[in-house]
Amino acid sequence: MQQPDTLKPTVLNAAELPEWTNAELRALFNVLDLPKDPDAAAAFLAKHGHEVRGIALRKTKIDAAFLDAVPAVEIISSYSAGLDNLDVQATRSRGITIENTSHILAEDVANAAVGLALAVTRDFINADAFVRTGTWPEHGHYLLGRSISRMKVGIVGLGTIGSAIAKRLQAFGSNLAYFGPSRKSVDIPYYDDVAHLARDCDMLILTCPLSPSTHHLVNAAVLDALGPRGYLVNISRGPVVDEAALIAALAQDGIAGAALDVFEYEPVVPEALIRDRRVVLTPHIGSATDETRRSMAENVVDTLARHFGLPGPRGRQIDAAVESIG
């Protein structure tokens, strides 16, 4: 027998999720939908915030003031891997559990990162146009590319996604190193300074989360260290790179090229990057496969259900618990 709504845990829906996911949430929880208008949202929380025990999150900004409005919250389950819209320190200090999807999307994001690395080093985008426009018969052989199998690649952020990228690049034969806030128990050389890593590498792949410490982590000095034969691949968050410094470096032939899935002010992309043939651009699609996006949405429901000791949605088994972030 289905529980009356009054006995179900109350969950705040602060995410744009597929309709089937919303249906699963409503079958298990008393769901309150957060209004999109900021003033309406504030009034809504003032009236209903004390009821909320869980939050389904995607892009909504949750700061300390928001958390103050939901004093009974026990868990925040994020559809995304990145938590730059969540004040993690304030959340942890309140003893609130944080769940995200980095363990789910890591494989496809890693695949995308390697695809971008190949596209920029082998010039696949322009080579495609070379064939399609009929230029090949007239001009003959295409320009030579670069081999990532013979490159030293620096991974900035060796977490779940970075580790998946490292596994793939090791299969390609790349020589690897990494930068992060602390050394990990891995057989890959560690650098505690990203500029030093850039100086010793042919390519930097960015997988780190966006935080105050990583905002503009890749700046003019790092790009200068990477040098005129170096490549930059970013599948983390746009503001990790100082976009103005990147444009300047490209204009001065300071780096060989870049492959970017994320941008500082997305979806707005600077015209200088759009016009530059050495830059590969994709619209934040690192995790954008049917399979992964469905699993990400399922994880929002499953982690909330598991936290409150509820059975999974009908017809679907909840995956084994994974380690929470906080």
Catalytic residue from among 58, 266, 278, 293: 266
196: annotated active-site residue: no
Q: Clarify whether residues 9 and 75 are in a common domain.
A: yes
Q: Clarify whether residues 221 and 78 are in a common domain.
A: no
216: annotated active-site residue: no
Q: Clarify whether residues 192 and 62 are in a common domain.
A: no
Whether residue 319 is contained in a domain is answered as: no
Q: Clarify whether residues 71 and 190 are in a common domain.
A: no
Whether residue 273 is contained in a domain is answered as: yes
Amino acid 81: pLDDT: 87
Amino acid 312: pLDDT: 75
Q: Clarify whether residues 219 and 276 are in a common domain.
A: yes
Whether residue 69 is contained in a domain is answered as: yes
- Least confident range from 16-25, 232-241, 248-257: namely 16-25
Q: Which three-class secondary structure state does DSSP give residue 116?
A: helix
Number of folded domains that form the chain: 2
Using one digit for the tens of pLDDT, what is the confidence trace for 87-110?
999 999 999 999 999 899 999 999
Whether residue 149 is contained in a domain is answered as: yes
Q: Clarify whether residues 126 and 181 are in a common domain.
A: yes
Amino acid 314: pLDDT: 64
237: annotated active-site residue: yes
Q: Clarify whether residues 170 and 271 are in a common domain.
A: yes
Q: Clarify whether residues 247 and 149 are in a common domain.
A: yes
Return the closest-CA partner of residue 258 out of 269, 139, 196.
269
Beta-bridge mates of residue 260:
234, 281
Percent of all residues in the chain with a pLDDT value above 70, rounded to a whole number:
94
Whether residue 263 is contained in a domain is answered as: yes
- DSSP assignments along 279-293, one per residue: EEE--S-TT-SHHHH
Whether residue 323 is contained in a domain is answered as: no
Whether residue 204 is contained in a domain is answered as: yes
Catalytic residue from among 196, 284, 293, 294: 284
Using one digit for the tens of pLDDT, what is the confidence trace for 38-49?
999 999 999 999
Q: Clarify whether residues 82 and 218 are in a common domain.
A: no
Local confidence band at 82 (pLDDT 50, 70, 90 cut-offs): confident
Amino acid 6: pLDDT: 59
Please name the amino acid found at residue 244. A
Which residue range is the domain that position 37 belongs to? Answer: 5-101+290-307
Please name the amino acid found at residue 293. R
Whether residue 83 is contained in a domain is answered as: yes
Using one digit for the tens of pLDDT, what is the confidence trace for 45-74?
999 999 999 999 999 999 999 999 999 999
Local confidence band at 320 (pLDDT 50, 70, 90 cut-offs): very low
Catalytic residue from among 237, 243, 298, 307: 237
| DSSP H/E element including 307 | helix 290-307
Q: Clarify whether residues 110 and 173 are in a common domain.
A: yes
Q: Clarify whether residues 260 and 151 are in a common domain.
A: yes
Q: Clarify whether residues 144 and 68 are in a common domain.
A: no
Percent of all residues in the chain with a pLDDT value above 90, rounded to a whole number:
91
Asked if residues 298 and 286 have their Cβ atoms less than 8 Å apart, the reply is no
CATH of the domain at 163: 3.40.50.720
Using one digit for the tens of pLDDT, what is the confidence trace for 120-156?
999 999 999 999 999 999 999 999 999 999 999 999 9
- How is residue 120 written in tokens? 């920029």
Return the closest-CA partner of residue 75 out of 301, 290, 311.
301
